[in-house]
Amino acid sequence: MRELETVAASRLRSSGSLPLLELTILEQPLQGVEYLEKEVLVPSEHKLIADLRLLDSEIKALRKNGEDIINISKELDKIARDNAEGVIHISQIAFFIFFPLFLIVGIGTLLFITNNVAKRLKLLTGIVERTGEGDYRPLFLPQRKQSGSDEVSVLIQKFNEMEGQLAQREDELKRKNQELLETKKLAAIGTLASGVAHELNNPLNNIYISAQILEKETEGGFSPIVKQIVDDIVGQTLRVKRIVSDLLEFARGKKPRLRKVDLNQLIVATYKLVSMSTDTSSINLTIEADPGGVVIDADPEQMERVFINLFTNAIDAMCGTGGLTVKIAKEQEATQIRVSDTGRGMPADAMEKVFEPFFTTKDEGTGLGLAIVFNVIKKHGGEIHAESEEGKGTTFSIALPVRQPNHEV
């Protein structure tokens, strides 16, 4: 056998076909088998022939596997292309469907926001014009879930804060102007009252002295009518003298001479003084204050005059029967005093003029008592207010500062 292989190899080399045979066997082993069997006379049972046949079957199997792989690759490529085309198609459809929708929604949202902002700015413009005319009411807009988060809301908030400050300044300015007018009016009335009082004082003294002399002279055998007339002259003269005295006190408006004053003691002493000239037997006085006393810096004579007028008015309003309550509370910045009665009260139109000079709701009276009270409290740097309800009584609230920086104590 080895001799046969040697002879075959020798023939192939001699014929120059060995390289071609090697190439043919590698590409198509069966053709190599035929060649070897016919030309070289290699027996079909030879191992080389069997190997070539096995190689041929393996090559065919590899080719089939390669073709299967190529087919699968083509199929996968087709599937990928189809999927890509489907996605592209769907994307195109989605674009043509959703783009107009998004465009409409976007334009609608833009119009809504623009309209909302424009509306709010228009309202703000209106409120600015209204503010320019002196109307300081704040601007209220429908609240949203996140109110104040946008620039317009912040602008409105700041504008409302500014309006609040303007309103406070306007109120303060009106109050100061009103106080200035009251001061000027009171000064003018005081000047007039002072002149009138001085002119009336001397003639009144002469009339009063003459009436007293006449009263003594008529104690004898004169008729009761003459005595009654003389008594009326004396009484009315005293009344006019009191009016003149009130005018002088109102006109002077002396600067307070401050002292340390115990309010509790002052109120009790003043009420006793009022009780000496007015029947207070049916008046129930209640004083609510610190038992240890409340000390303030005040002019004792002027404050006594304040409480005399307040107590007298309260007793007159109660027609001599009722409850008179004085509450005193010392706070950090001011001492609060409330004088309340259970009298007939005053109507609203009267409350507006209650501190004006010569205004009175009584048949008899000068209308200067509460004006004097007002002046005294103001000169002490305090405030006084009145509250009243018809049929339920009246309350005067006084606030006196704890310290009096403009006066020496």
Domain CATH number, residue 338: 3.30.565.10
Domain check: are 117 and 168 in the same one?
Answer: no
Tell me the pTM: 0.52
Q: Are residues 64 and 186 in the same domain?
A: no
> What per-residue confidence (pLDDT) applies to 147?
47
Contacts of 256 (CB under 8 A, 6+ apart): 298, 299, 302, 376, 379, 380, 407
Same domain, 379 and 265: yes
Domain edge (last residue) among 252, 284, 308: 252
User: pLDDT by residue (tens digit) across 200-251?
Assistant: 777 878 887 887 887 777 776 667 787 788 788 887 887 777 777 766 766 6
- Residue 212 belongs to domain spanning: 142-252
Q: Is residue 406 part of a domain?
A: no
* Tens digit of each residue's pLDDT (9 = 90 or more) over 281-308: 899 999 998 888 889 999 998 899 899 9
Q: Are residues 347 and 266 in the same domain?
A: yes
Say if 407 falls within a structural domain: no
237 and 332 part of one domain = no
CA distances from 347 to 2, 268, 342, 351, 390 (A): 151, 30, 15, 7, 6
Q: How many domains does the chain have?
A: 3
Tell me which of 252, 269, 298 is where a domain ends.
252
**Is pLDDT of 385 > 50?**
yes
Q: What is the pLDDT of residues 184-210, one digit of tens each?
A: 766 676 677 667 766 777 787 888 788
Query: Can you tell me which residue has the tokens 């002399």?
Result: 213
CA angle 236, 311, 362 (to 5 degrees): 45
Pull the structure tokens for residue 275.
């009780």
* Neighbouring-strand partners of residue 93: none
Whether 124 is covered by a domain: the verdict is yes
Helix 263-277 crosses helix 300-317 at what angle (to 10 degrees)? 50
